[in-house]
Amino acid sequence: MTRKFFITTAIDYPNSRPHIGTAFEKIGADVQARYRRMEGYDVHFLMGNDENTVKVSRRAAELKRDTQEYCNDMANQFKEVWRALDISFDDFIQTSEPRHHAGCQKFIQKVFDNGYIYKGSYDGLYCDGCEGFKTEKEVKEAGGVCPDHKVAPVVRQEPCYFFALSKFQDRLLEYYEKNADFIQPDSRRNEIVTLVKTELRDVNITRLGQQWGIRVPFDPEFTIYVWFDALLNYITAIGYCSKPNGDAGAVGMSFEKWWPADIHFIGKDITRFHCALWPAMCFAAGIEVPTLVYGHGFITSGGEKMSKTLGNIVEPHEVTAIAGADGYRYYFMRECPFPGDGDFSWDRLKIVFNSDLGKNLGNLLSRVTTLIVSNYSCVLDGTAGQTPSPIVLNLANVVKEVRGHMEACQYNIALERIWRQILDPANQYVDKNEPWKLVKTDKDATRLVLFNLIEPLRAAAILLKPVLVRSSETIYRSFNFTQPWEKVSYADVANRPAQADDMRVIAKLDERGKVPPLFPVIK
């Protein structure tokens, strides 16, 4: 029986286009999704946009556009960016969709019926210009005024509904205790445990007098506050509210099948919402709590936090333009430890791309294929059914190690292992055996050397499939392996499926009669 695996990423505000920081999370999630699919899991990979915020409707108004139309346009732009990075999402939810609205209302009603929502009043700093409350922090940072309107906000009291978060303190702590892996990486755990132990307060989950947003079903004067709405995308997308008649539900999806989520990928800044508020909401509504929340690190640009004023915001297309989607994915997965922070710089991109991808990997393919093409007319006669002599002696261990790092989202370490344990030995083997010399005196021996060298290329291609989506396939399809590319899994790396035909180079050759460079050098 295949195991289901439900992966989500945080939904993004569509106020501005995604940058390399936003994309970092999606790539990490995508690598996990692709890895799990290879390993035979039934994967559902969800992404989306968070549209029910005042900021979105205000931004649309500024542009003199209809809010919904603006959201749809932005959602299309986001999806375009994700596709350009080969992010293999299965579903993309917009929180303005009927399936989300219906699901949210069902959920909040359920929590209300279960007695965890009560009416009260909220004291806050209110800005007339914004027609909304500002946080103390916001006002303080702006020097005592509204950061947008530069006017001192007034204290205002307003009726609202509270979610009784504080009632779940014990259950939350017990859940953390029993599920040691719930919060990843471990460094985030303490923070949350302390938080829940010390300052768990009930939260205001409504707003008054807003047009855009989701109505509170038991009091339609109110709209649902964004966090109480946003988190629900994880369940509304998979049919939390689907009805037998199909009305408002996600087509063909089954909440029962997919929930709970196996991994929520989020930024470290919103860990608390996902590790405290969200599980409490699940308890309150009587649904299961997600299995794992993974709070990844942030990306700086040129050593600085990305900001408009510094002008160092980098958009994905700028990077793919010179490194391609695979170069892009490799850079961030290899250079930036997923649990921690990482930096992007153009210098570093060039170095990493040329050295790791061009020199170590791409050039290995070139030197091996060219020797086979020019000396053996592409075919290594008599190799059908043969087993190559291993260049990597402990390949099974390497696979085991890489697999462990992939599952722990330690992508940078997984990649480092592949380079050090597989590609370096392969390049050294070429140098030691000097097939270009050997071929002049012993063509049979050389044939075996080359045959052996195809093996680490096959291993690397398979192990890299989740990261180097396109070039791993190009490497694999340069040869006539019996096992189809669509079917390869990590298990095939050490347990090489029998090769039916003589090994040969089947890549399309360029005008020079060679296999074209995989990763042309960035000047």
Partner RNA sequence: CCCGGGGUGGAGCAGUGGUAGCUCGCCAGGCUCAUAACCUGGAGGUCGCAGGUUCAAAUCCUGCCCCCGGAACCA
Nearest to RNA of 360, 499 (CB atom): 360
Nearest distance, CB of residue 242 and RNA, angstroms? 27
Q: What is the CA radius of gyration of the chain?
A: 27
Cβ proximity of 132 and 126 under 8 Å: yes
Cα–Cα distance, 491 to 38 (Å, whole number) = 10
In the complex with RNA, the residue whose CB is nearer, 310 or 396, is: 310
185 or 239: whose CB is closer to RNA?
185
3 contacts 41 by C-beta, under 8 angstroms: yes
Give Cα separations from 453 to 96, 205, 237, 239 (angstroms).
Answer: 54, 61, 47, 49
List residues bridging with 126 in a β-sheet.
133, 154
Region for 340 from its dihedrals, namely left if φ exceeds 0, alpha if ψ lies in -120 to 50, beta otherwise: beta
DSSP annotation of 123:
E
Q: How far is the CB of 16 from RNA (least distance, A)?
A: 8
Nearer to RNA, 372 or 463 (CB): 372
The answer to whether 171 and 283 have CB atoms below 8 angstroms apart is yes
* Residues 125, 139: Cα–Cα separation, whole Å: 8
Residue 477, judged by CB atoms within 10 A of its CB (0-12, 13-18, 19+), counts as middle
Question: Quick one: 43 or 450, whose CB is closer to RNA?
Answer: 450
Task: Give min distance, CB of 141 to RNA, in A.
Answer: 10
Report in angstroms how near the CB of residue 248 gets to RNA at its nearest: 24
Nearest to 132 by CA among 16, 230, 220, 213: 213
Alpha carbon distance 261, 281 (integer Å): 14
| Burial letters 148-181, b for 16+ CB under 10 A, else e | eeeeebeeeeeebbbbbbeebeeebeebbeeeee
CB closer to RNA out of 24 and 161: 24
Number of H helices, E strands in the chain: 22, 14
Residue 393 has, within 13 A of its CA and on its CB side, a CA count of: 0
Task: Tell which residue, 314, 316, 346, 310, has the closest CA to residue 328.
Answer: 316
Shortest distance, position 311 Cβ to RNA, whole Å: 15
CB-nearer residue toward RNA: 250 or 289: 289
The CB-of-190 to RNA minimum distance in angstroms stands at 5
**Between 268 and 403, CB nearer to RNA:** 268
How far from 379 is each of 366, 449, 479, 480, CA to CA, in Å?
A: 16, 14, 10, 10
CB of 384 to RNA, least distance (A): 24
Residue with tokens 């989607």: 325
Q: Identify which of residues 195 and 379 has a Cβ nearer to RNA in the complex.
A: 195
Our CB check for RNA shows the closer of 42 and 416 to be: 416
Toward RNA, which CB reaches closer, 193 or 494? 193
In the bound complex, what is the minimum distance in angstroms from residue 37's beta carbon to RNA? Answer: 24
SS3 category, 501: coil
Cβ(391)–Cβ(455) below 8 Å: yes
Rounded to a whole number of angstroms, the minimum distance from the CB of residue 238 to RNA is 22
Residue 370 Ramachandran class (φ > 0 left, ψ -120 to 50 alpha, else beta): alpha
Instruction: Tell me how crowded residue 292 is: count the other CB atoms within 10 A of its CB.
Output: 16
CB of 232 to RNA, least distance (A): 14
Shortest spacing between CB 386 and RNA, in angstroms: 22
Nearer residue to RNA within complex by CB, 252 or 311: 311
Closest approach of RNA to the CB of residue 73, in Å: 19
